[in-house]
Structure 1
Amino acid sequence: MPRLSFAPPSLCLTSLPLLKRLLPSLPPTVRDLDVPPRLREQFILSGYRPVDLSRRCYVLSLFQIHNETLSVWSPLLAAVCVLVRFLVFSVLQGGGILGVGLQGPEGQGVSVDVSSLPLVLYVFSAVTFLSCSAAVRLLRSEQTLHSLFFLEHVGVAMHQYGCALALCLYSSDSAWTQSMLGQIFLPVVAVVVWFSFIICCYADLHLHRRICQVVPRGVAYLLVISPVTHRLASHNWANTSTLPLHFLQVALFLLSAVFSSCPVPECFSPGRYDIIGHSRQLFHILLSICTLVQQEALFEDFLWRRQALVRELGEERLLLACASFLGLALCCVMTALVIKRRTRVQLLKEGR
Structure 2
Amino acid sequence: MPAGVADQGQSPPNAASPQSPPRPPPRRAAPLLRWDEVPDDFVECFILSGYRRLQCTALECLVSVLQPTNETLNFWTHFIPLLLFASKFCRLLLLRGVGDLPFHHPFLLPLWCYASGVLLTFAMSCTAHVFSCLSLRLRAAFFYLDYASISYYGFGSTVAYYYYLLPGLSLLEPRALSRYLQQRLGWHVDCSAPIALYSALLLPVAFLLAVACTVACCKSRSEWCTYPFAIRTFVFAMPLSMACPIMLESLLFDLKGHNPTLFVYFYRRYFWLLVAAFFNVSKIPERIQPGLFDIIGHSHQLFHIFTFLSIYDQMFYVEEGLRHFLQEPPPASPTFTGTVGYMVLLVLCLVLVIKRFLNVPEFCKQD
Secondary structure in 2 matching 1:312: coil
Amino acid at match of 1:262: S
Change (3 A) 1:176 1:182: farther
Q: Distance in 1 between matches of 2:364 and 2:36?
A: 26
CA contact (8 A) 1:232 1:247 kept: no
The aligned counterpart of 1:197 is 214
Structure 1 residue 92: deviation in Å? 4.1
Match of 1:116 among 101, 108, 114: 108
Q: Given that residues 148 and 214 in structure 2 are in contact (C-alpha distance below 8 angstroms), is that contact kept between their aligned partners in structure 1?
A: yes
Aligned partner of 2:143 in structure 1 is 149
Maintained 8 Å contact 1:167/1:227: no
Equivalent in the alignment of 1:6: none
Corresponding residue number in structure 1 for 2:10: none
The counterpart of 1:100, out of the listed 96, 99, 102, is: 102
- Determine if contact 2:220/2:231 at 8 Å carries over to the other structure: yes
In 2: Cα distance, 1:34 partner to 1:194 partner:
36
Q: Describe the shift of the 1:241–1:217 C-alpha distance in structure 2 as closer, same or farther (beyond 3 A).
A: closer
Query: Residues 4-46 of structure 1, C-alpha deviation per residue, up to 9 Å, x if partnerless?
Result: xxxxxxxxx99x87x96xxx53223221111111111111111
Does the CA contact (< 8 Å) of 1:114 and 1:319 recur in 2? no
- After TM superposition, the score normalised by the length of structure 1 is 0.82
The one-letter code matched in structure 2 to 1:193 is A
Report the counterpart of residue 185 of structure 1 in structure 2: 202
Q: Which structure: larger Rg? A: 2
Q: CA deviation at 1:238?
A: 4.2
1 CA distance for matches of 2:142 and 2:339? 29
TM-score (normalised: structure 2):
0.79
Identity among equivalent positions (%) equals 20
Aligned pairs for 1:231-270 within 5 A: 231-233=249-251, 234-239=253-258, 240-270=260-290
Give matches, 1:1-352, under 5 Å.
Answer: 25-90=28-93, 91-92=95-96, 94-95=98-99, 99-100=101-102, 112-141=104-133, 142-143=135-136, 144-172=138-166, 173-177=168-172, 179=195, 180-206=197-223, 208=226, 209-221=228-240, 223-233=241-251, 234-239=253-258, 240-309=260-329, 311-316=330-335, 319-343=337-361, 347=365
Deviation at 1:174, TM superposition (A): 4.0
Contact 1:161 1:193 in 2 (8 A): yes
Cα displacement string for residues 257-288 of structure 1 (whole angstroms, at most 9, x for unaligned residues): 11111111111111111111111110011112
The letter of the residue matching 1:100 is P
Asked whether the 8 Å contact 2:276–2:307 carries over to 1, the reply is: yes
Amino acid across the alignment from 2:98: G
Q: Partner of 1:7 in structure 2?
A: none
Letter of the aligned partner of 2:307 in structure 1? Answer: L
| Cα root mean square deviation, aligned | 2.6
The alpha-carbon distance between structure 1 residues 89 and 295, as it changes in their structure 2 partners (threshold 3 A), is same
C-alpha contact 1:44 1:270 (8 A) present in aligned 2: yes
Q: CA deviation at 1:133?
A: 0.7
Distance, in Å, in 1 between the alignment partners of 2:89 and 2:231 is: 34
Offset of 1:299 from its aligned partner? Answer: 1.1
* Number of equivalent positions: 317
SS at match of 2:361: helix
